[in-house]
Structure 1
Amino acid sequence: MNDKKHILVLPVNYPNPANSVAGTFFQSQVNSLREFGHTVGIVSFCLLRISELKHISYLDQLETKNEIQLCFPAVPKVQSLNHKIRTQLTTRLIKRYIKVCGKPDVIHVHVYSAAGAAIWAKEKYDIPYVITEHYSHFANNQITRYFHKVACSAFKNANACLAVSKSLCNTLEEMFHLNFQCIPNIVGPEFQVLNVSESDYGKFILNVASLVPIKNHERLINAFSIVAKSNNQLNLVIVGDGPLREQLDNLVKSLGLSDRVYFLGTQNKAKIATLMNQAELFCLSSDYETFGVVLIEALACGLPVVATNVGGIPEIISDSEFGCVAKADHETFAKSIIEQLNHRTQKVKVSCKSKSYYGSIAFLSRLNQILNSVL
C-alpha cells in the first residue's frame, strides 16, 4: 500500500480571521502530515459570536485550493441548533472540496461534534473516517443528552476511534463501550531550545492557559503567594485571556502581588516559545486536562513543569526529568514549585527526550499505523 495518502481533516476549530490561535495544534498536525508527503485538505467550520464577525470581511474563505473555511454566526445559547447548522453546511463544503480537489482516501475528524459531515460522506462517497477525541467534558460528565447522542453516533460510525490520552480513552470506553486507541497530540516545531535575550520580567514562573474556571488560576496565584514570600526575586507571568481576567486581577491585588504578577493576554506561538525559553518553570494548575498541549510545548523548550495530578497530565510527566505532578491544594502546589525550582535541569536533554515522545516522527508513526489499518 502507498504510504502517501489524501487526507481530509475536519477539525472542531482552526485558526481563522477572528481567532488566530484557535486549533493551532490541529494546524501543527496538518503541517507535519504535509511535510511527510501526504496530500492534506482542510474543511473547517468556525462558529463565531456576532461581535467577532466585525474582524472578517467575508464569511466564505478559500485560502488555497485544499483549504476551505466557513466562518458563520452562532445562534446565542442554542448549541444543538448550531450543531445542526454546522453539520448541514459542512456537508456542502465537502461537496465543494471533492469537486475541486478530488475524493480523499480518508477523513480525519477532530472532536465528535465535527463528525456529522464525515458520517454523511462515508454513506454518500464510501470514504472511511477516523476520529480523535480531545474534549474534557466527557470526564467531567458535562455532556448534554443531545450531544451524548451525537458523540455516540460519531464514535459508532468511525472506522477507528482515537483519543489524546490513555485517561480519556478509558473514560470513553466506559461511556460508549467501544475501543479507543491513544495518539497524543503533537508538539509544533516552534517549540525548541532557543538562544533568547533576557526577559523583561526578571526570573519568572510561566503559565499559559485561558482564564476560565477549569484552568483554576486562583490555585496558581495563591500558591505563588506562598512561593513569593521565600523568593523575592521570582515573578509570575500568565499568558491567556478570558472571562476571569478581572476577578484574577483583583485576587492579585488583594495578595499584594500587583508588581510581581504579569497578565500578558493572548500571545502567538513565537512569543510563547520565547517565554518558555526564558522562564524558570512552567506551571499548570487545571482542575482537569485531557492532555495539556502547553506541557509538551514547555518540555520541548527544555522547561520543566509542575502540574496538577489530573486527567492525562501524569502520562506526560512520567519522567522525573520533566518535572512533577502535585496535589490540587495550593499549599502542596506551592511546595512542589519550590522543590522543582531547586532541581537542576538539563534543557537540551529534556527537549530531546520529550520530542522523541511528542515530535512529528512519533506522531506520524502512530497515525500512519492507524490509517493503514483502515484503508
Structure 2
Amino acid sequence: MAARLNVLLISNLFPTPVDPIRGVFTCQLAKRLKAICDVTVVCPLPWFPSWARGKMFEKWAEFSRVPGLYEWQGFTVHSPKYPMIPRMSEAAHAALMFPSLYRTVKRLHRLRRFDVVNTHWLYPDGVAAAWCAQLLGLPHVVTALGCDANLFMTQGHKRFQIERAIRKAEGVTVVSEALRQFLVEQGFGDKPIDVIPNGVDAELFRPRDKAECARQLGIVSRGKTVVFVGQLLEVKGIIYLIEAVERLVAGGKDVFVYMVGEGSGRPVYEAEVARRGLSGRIQFVGNRPHSEIAVWMGAGDVFCLPSIREGFPNVVLEALFSGRPVVASRVGGIPEMVNTNNGYLVESGNAAALADALGEALEKTWDANAILATVSHLSWERAGQHYLLSLEAAMKKRGGNP
C-alpha cells in the first residue's frame, strides 16, 4: 500500500481565533485533503502593532493578535508573522514574508519531510512559498483564487513576482475556467493549468423552509426577501443593489434585503440607505458564523451578488445548494455556476438591469431541488480528489514518487 502524501498547505486565508470566518473554504478543502493525505497548515500573516488605531490600521492590527501556533478543527496551524506597513510595503510583501515563512517551513520539513507544497493565493503567499520550495527542493503547486490573479496581475510591482512564481511551479490550479482563460491571456498558455472548482458542505447548505429559518434567526418572515452575503466593499457592487431596491420599491414591489457581512464601506452604505429612505427595507446584520449563513440563505427568496469583480465566489454555490435562485453580475467564474435554470446574470454596474432581474426572480416560482441539482456535482470530496491528482502530477514532474 502506497504511503500517504505529506502535503504542506500554505495560505494566509485560513480561519483564526481572531477571525473565525476568514478563509473558511481553504479550511474545508484542507479537511477533505486530510481524509486522503497528511496535511500541515501554515498561515503566514502580517504583523502590525496591536495598539494601532484608526480605520486604516484596524484590520492589520488584528493580525498581531493571532497566536503563532493554534488549534483549529483538527489542525495545528502554524502562523509565522512578518513586518509590514499598510499600502507602503505592498511591493515588498513577499520579501518580507519569506524569512519567517522559510524558518517555519524548514523546521517542519526537518521534523517530517514534506512531499509537496500547495499554496493558495498568488501574492505574497505564492511568491514567498515558491522561494521556500526551491530552497528545500520541493515540488510546488500554486493555486489562484480570484483577485490574486485578475487584479494583482495588472499591478506592475506584483506581476513580475507572480509570473516568476507561476513559471517555477510544477503545477498550477485555479478555481474557475474564467481564471484559467485569464492566465492563458497573460501568457501562460504553454503551462498546464488545472481547473478545480470549490465545493460546498452539502450537509449544512441544503433547501430549508423560509419561515422556519426566519424563526431561527429571530426575524419577521416578510414579503419577498433578498439576501446578500459578502464584504461590504465597493468591489461587491453594493451601491447598485441599493439603487436596484430603490427602483423596485418605487415600482410598487414589497421587497426586503438582508446584508450579511462587514467591511470598511458599511457606514457609507448605511448612510446611503438612510438617504434614500430605505432603512425599513435594507437591514445590515454584520458578520455571522459560517454555520448561520446557511440559515440566512434559507430565510431569503433570492440571493444577490452584484460584484464588479469576482473569482469563483462560494457564496453563489452555497445559495444554489440552498435551493435559492441567484441574481448576480456576469463576472469571473459566476457564469460557470448561474444559468437560466437557477437564476439571472446581469452586466456589472447596471442598477436598472439588476432591478429588472431581481423583480423577475422574485416573481417566478422556483423548484428548490431543481436548483440544487444544477450544482450538486460540485462537492469538496470531488475537489479534494482532483487536488490530490494535481499534487501527485507535480511530484512526478519534479522526479519524485507519489
Could you tell me the TM-score, scaled by structure 2's length?
0.85
| 1:218–1:248 contact (8 Å) kept in structure 2 | yes
Aligned length: 371
Aligned to 1:185: 198
| 2:177–2:333 contact (8 Å) kept in structure 1 | yes
Aligned to 2:114: 104
The correspondence for 2:184, drawn from 165, 168, 173, is 173
- Which region of structure 1 is more displaced relative to structure 2, 168-177 or 195-204? 195-204
The correspondence for 1:296, drawn from 317, 330, 354, is 317
Matched, 1:234 2:255: yes
Report the Cα distance in structure 1 between the residues aligned to 2:360 and 2:75, rounded to whole angstroms. Answer: 52
Aligned to 1:23: 23
**Letter matched to residue 365 of structure 1:** Q
| 1:50–1:73 contact (8 Å) kept in structure 2 | no
CA drift at 1:283: 0.3
Report the Cα distance in structure 2 between the residues aligned to 1:3 and 1:354, rounded to whole angstroms. Answer: 33
Aligned to 2:385: 365
Aligned to 2:11: 11
The correspondence for 1:307, drawn from 323, 328, 349, is 328
| 2:98–2:129 contact (8 Å) kept in structure 1 | no
Query: 3-state SS of the aligned residue for 1:264?
Result: strand
Q: Counterparts of 1:1-375 in structure 2 under 5 Å?
A: 2=2, 4-35=4-35, 37-51=36-50, 53=61, 59-63=67-71, 66-72=76-82, 74-77=84-87, 78-100=89-111, 102-113=112-123, 114-136=125-147, 138-140=149-151, 143-178=154-189, 179=191, 180-189=193-202, 190-194=204-208, 196-199=212-215, 200-203=219-222, 204-230=225-251, 232-317=253-338, 319-328=339-348, 329-356=350-377, 358-375=378-395
Query: 3-state SS of the aligned residue for 2:107?
Result: helix
Aligned to 2:57: none
Gap runs ≥5 in structure 2: 51-59, 396-402
Q: State the identity %.
A: 22
| 2:239–2:269 contact (8 Å) kept in structure 1 | yes
Report the Cα distance in structure 1 between the residues aligned to 2:3 and 2:185, rounded to whole angstroms. Answer: 33
Quote the RMSD (CA, aligned, Å): 2.4
Report the Cα distance in structure 2 between the residues aligned to 1:295 and 1:50, rounded to whole angstroms. Answer: 36
**Letter matched to residue 341 of structure 2:** E
Report the Cα distance in structure 2 between the residues aligned to 1:219 and 1:54, rounded to whole angstroms. Answer: 30
- Deviation by residue 1:177-208 (Cα, 9 ceiling, x = unmatched): 34322111222343223454435143420001
**Letter matched to residue 43 of structure 1:** V
**Letter matched to residue 368 of structure 1:** L
Gap runs ≥5 in structure 1: none
Report the Cα distance in structure 2 between the residues aligned to 1:241 and 1:309, rounded to whole angstroms. Answer: 23
Report the Cα distance in structure 1 between the residues aligned to 2:47 and 2:232, rounded to whole angstroms. Answer: 19
Query: 3-state SS of the aligned residue for 1:161?
Result: strand
CA drift at 1:369: 2.8
**Letter matched to residue 133 of structure 2:** K
Query: 3-state SS of the aligned residue for 1:295?
Result: helix
Report the Cα distance in structure 1 between the residues aligned to 2:346 and 2:93, rounded to whole angstroms. Answer: 38
